Structure 1
Amino acid sequence: MKVALVTVGDELLAGDTVNTNASWLGERLTGRGVAVDRVTTVPDRVDDIAGVVREYRDAYDAVVVTGGVGPTHDDVTMDGVAAAVGVDLAPSDEALAYLTEHGGYAADDLTEGTTHLPAGARVIHNEKGVAPGCVIDSVYVLPGVPTEMKAMFASVAEEFAGDEPHTATVETPEPESRLLDRLSAVRERYDVAVGSYPGETVRVKFTGTDEAHVADAADWFRERVETAESPPAAED
């Protein structure tokens, strides 16, 4: 299953808010065996939202959109998603009933931003806030407030699944530039994904669906690099 993430908000682009939603969702989806192939941030503009959702909807198994959901003037994500799938926004009796019966809100106090969804969408109720999310044509729309987004994602998480991933990590003090030959060799020998992440040490991560295969690749690489426990072994 391949998924694209779209995060919406001028504040994300301006750096006023750290985009923790993207990293949190990426980690959770990857842990479920889902390949996250795109993460895109767009401003609070209907055309921008519609354009990227339309493109990704055609290219991926699912699109997860967060942010721009609610009653304020810049909450235009539902408008953009509706435009992307070719429908209008319409009152949702289910969303209204949930907010009044379970949320304790008076109907007169609710705005279109909290009761109107793309026509034909499935409601995802917001247990931590006001504005509901929805699912329409493989597009999942979640709020941007992290506590609300996390709770809402939990209610649909089972709809995202793939082969269980297995990982192994090797850390080495060797400079990344000196590892190129062994990184290339391990990729040729083993059918695993290999990521190299430099910092105070270089962290090399091996990922695949076959646990034994991942472990073999990590062991092979570990034997040929310097580690905290031992000096590098001879290469072959």
Structure 2
Amino acid sequence: MQVGLVTVGDELLVGDTENTNASWLGARLAERGASVERVVVVPDVEDAIAEEVSRFADRFDAVLVTGGVGPTHDDVTMDGVAAAFDRPMAEHSDALTYFQNHDTYQFDNLTEGTADLPSGARLLENPVGVAPGAVVENVYVLPGVPDEMKGMFDSVADEFTGTATSVEFVHVDAPESSLVEALEAVRDRFDVTVGSYPGDSVRVKLQHEDEAVVDEAADWFREHVDEA
């Protein structure tokens, strides 16, 4: 399953907020065997959201959108997703019921449009906060608040599938440039996927569908490098 991530928020673009949602979702999807193909950050602008959501929805099996879901002036993500599919925003019966049953809200005091979702959407309840999410065709719209996003993703996680892979990391005390031959050798010998990530040490990631192959590749690699 190929997935695209669209993260929404002016605060992400200017660095006021770190985009932890994308990294968390990437890890959770990889655990399930889904493949994250693209991640994009867009501003709180309806047209920009609609453009990226439309492009990703056509290209990937599923799209996860986070951020810009709520009652404030810059929460325009639902409008952007509706526009991506040329659907109107409309009062949603499940959203009305959701807010009527939500302890945090006095239903009579809801502002106009609070219970609106893209026409035909499936409501996603928010197990941690208030603002609900939605599914429109192959697009899943989640809140930007990390705890709320995580709780809502967990409610639909089973809809993201693929072939799970085994992963092992080897930390190497050497410059990344000195590992070229060893990295090529372990990849060719064991047919594993290899990634190398420099830092205080070089973190080498070995990945394969078969756990035994990963274990064997990691053992071989450790014998040919200086482990940190």
Shorter-chain TM-score category?
Answer: over 0.9
Structure 1 unaligned blocks of 5 or more: 229-236
Which amino acid in the other structure matches residue 7 of structure 1? T
State the partner residue of 2:172: 172
| Equivalent residue number for residue 90 of structure 1 | 90
Give yes or no for contact 1:69–1:113 (8 Å, CA) kept in 2: no
After superposition, the C-alpha distances for 1:73-132 in whole angstroms (9 at most, x for unaligned) are 100000110111121111011111111123352333223453111100000011222211
Measure, in 1, the Cα distance between the counterparts of 2:196 and 2:223.
17
Which 10-residue stretch deviates more, 147-156 or 105-114?
105-114
- Whether the 8 Å contact between 1:70 and 1:113 is mirrored in structure 2 is no
**Pair 1:165–1:111, CA change in 2 (3 A):** farther
Q: How does 1:17-166 map to 2 (within 5 A)?
A: 17-103=17-103, 105-166=105-166
Aligned-pair CA distance for 1:60:
0.8
| Partner-residue secondary structure (3-state), 1:50 | helix
Counterpart check, 1:189 vs 2:189: yes
TM-score normalised by length of structure 2: 0.95
Q: Deviations over 1:192-236 (max 9, x none)?
A: 2111011111111101211112122212211111125xxxxxxxx
Deviation at 1:18, TM superposition (A): 1.2
Matched, 1:226 2:216: no
Q: How many corresponding residue pairs?
A: 228
State the alpha-carbon separation in 1 of the partners of residues 112 and 217 from structure 2: 54
Letter aligned with residue 17 of structure 1: T
Q: Which amino acid aligns with 2:46?
A: V
CA contact (8 A) 1:71 1:112 kept: no
CA distance in 1, matches of 2:124, 2:103: 14
Q: Distance in 2 between matches of 1:113 and 1:174?
A: 58
Task: Find the counterpart in structure 2 of residue 14 from structure 1.
Answer: 14
Q: C-alpha distance in 1, partners of 2:100/2:124?
A: 15
Instruction: Determine the C-alpha separation between the residues in 2 that align with 1:170 and 1:199.
Output: 13
Gaps in structure 2 of 5+ consecutive residues: none
**Whole-angstrom CA distance in 2 between matches of 1:147 and 1:51:** 27
Deviation string, structure 1 residues 1-49 (Cα, Å, up to 9, x no partner):
1111111000111111111111111111111111111111100001110
Alpha carbons of structure 1 residues 207 and 184: separation in structure 2 relative to 1, 3 Å: same
2:104·2:130 contact (CA, 8 Å) conserved in 1? Answer: no
Residue 36 of structure 1: SS of its match in structure 2? strand
Q: For the Cα contact (< 8 Å) 1:91–1:115, is it kept in 2?
A: yes
SS in 1 for 2:18: coil
Letter of the 1:6 partner, please give it. Answer: V
Please say if residues 114 and 132 of structure 1, whose CA atoms lie closer than 8 Å, have aligned partners that are also in contact.
no
Q: Secondary structure at the match of 2:105?
A: coil
Equivalent-residue separation in structure 2 for 1:214 and 1:113 (angstroms): 52
Q: Secondary structure at the match of 1:41?
A: strand
Q: Quote the RMSD (CA, aligned, Å).
A: 1.3
Name the CA shift for 1:222/1:88 in 2 (closer, same or farther; >3 Å).
same
Secondary structure at the counterpart of residue 69 of structure 1: coil
Task: Report the TM-score, using the length of structure 1 for normalisation.
Answer: 0.92
Q: Quick one: percent identity of the two aligned structures?
A: 61
